[in-house]
Amino acid sequence: MGNSTFNKVSVFLDESGKNKNEISLIGALLVPEDYYNNEKISDLNHRLREESFKLHFTSFKKSDSKLYKEVLEVFLENTDYLKFNVVTFKRNSHFNTNLNMHSSYNDMIYSKIPERVLYGVLREFGNFSSVSAKIYIEESGEYKKRDLHKVVKNQLNVHSLYRNENFRVDSALLIPKNKHIGVEITDTILGMLRVIIENADAVKDGEVKKKTLWGKKSFIFEMIPTIEVFLRGINYFELEGQQVLRPKSINGYLNMFLSKYEKECRSLILEDEEASVSSVS
């Protein structure tokens, strides 16, 4: 990498969907430090560490909308500065009844996928734009027992040297929940993506059947003007079998999600109109 000046970046890694979910996502968000340390994001970080608020999209409620809207608008103000890499995979149901197979599958996932998503956001910087990275990973039992932070730091620096890339990883840390706003925004985006990809029914027969899911879907739809350009620009991959990562487009998932949401809204409106007519009659 010669004697060129290093540009500093922060990279955040998180996972959405564990064993109870049909699909899981592991994603990495790269943010230039100059952008991450701007006044608005620094204020969010301060408030988070002071415990003025907490973020966890799994527990999202309608009353949280204002907070999540603020955080997304601040972070995605300049989406061109950000790089986001996501891998989605299914946890096959038969692993749940075979503990040895389940353990082997997790070994494969956590030895390969985090390193791949991190490498994806760090690679391909220009020859005159060497990058110095700090990696922050949300702390979990799986990650701690595998020393994931130490492993990925070593793997990535070996890849950079071997492939003549223009980055180095200076540090990699496991971060507890709600201690770094970059980790929490990564968790939020991954949670929203999982809702979009799964695209489960929240409305049936003109009635909301799953209120928590409907709240999440309604919030995502409300935020489309803020998040659409960013979502359509992410690098998205799906794990096929146990070895092959295939690049896919997120556009199909997003289009199907938006179409179903609008249909569900029409169903609710129609049911309300019919109920109003019945009451008048």
Task: Give the pLDDT score at 280.
Answer: 38
SS3 state at 23: strand
Confidence of residue 106 (pLDDT cuts 50, 70, 90): confident
Average pLDDT over residues 209-231: 97
Q: Which residue has the tokens 């997120």?
A: 250
Banded pLDDT at 103 (limits 50, 70, 90) = low
> What gap in Å lies between CA 57 and CA 247, rounded to an integer?
26
Domain-by-domain residue ranges, the chain? 7-198+210-250
What does the mean pLDDT of the chain come to? 89
At 147-165, the pLDDT tens digits run: 999 999 999 999 999 999 9
Q: How confident is the model at residue 134 (pLDDT cuts 50, 70, 90)?
A: very high
The per-residue DSSP string of 60-117 comes to --GGGHHHHHHHHHHHTTTGGG-EEEEEEEE--GGGGG-HHHHHHHHHHHHHHHHHHH
Residue 22: which H helix or E strand, with range? none
Poorest-pLDDT segment among 98-107, 173-182, 264-273: 98-107
**183, containing H or E segment:** helix 181-198
Q: Is the pLDDT of residue 101 over 90?
A: no
pLDDT, residue 136, reads 98
- Matching residue, tokens 């029409």: 266
Q: pLDDT > 70: what percent of the chain?
A: 88
What class does CATH assign to 7-198+210-250? alpha beta
117, 13 contact by CB (below 8 A) = yes
pLDDT digits (tens, 9 = 90+) for 4-28: 578 999 999 999 987 666 799 999 9
Global confidence as pTM = 0.91
